Amino acid sequence: MTTPSAPPYDGRHLIADLDGCAAPLDDLALVEAALRAGVDAAGASLLKITLHHFGPGQGVTGVAILAESHISIHSWPEHQYAAIDIFLCGARHDLDAALGAVAAILCPQNIRKVTHLRGYGMESTS
List the catalytic residues. 69, 74, 89
- Pair 96, 41: CB distance under 8 Å: no
Q: Which helix (H) or strand (E) holds 105?
A: helix 95-106
Side chain identity, residue 53: H
Say which DSSP state 101 is in.
H
- Pair 102, 34: CB distance under 8 Å: yes
- Pair 76, 25: CB distance under 8 Å: yes
Burial classification of residue 56, based on how many CB atoms lie within 10 Å of its CB (0-12 exposed, 13-18 middle, 19 or more buried): exposed
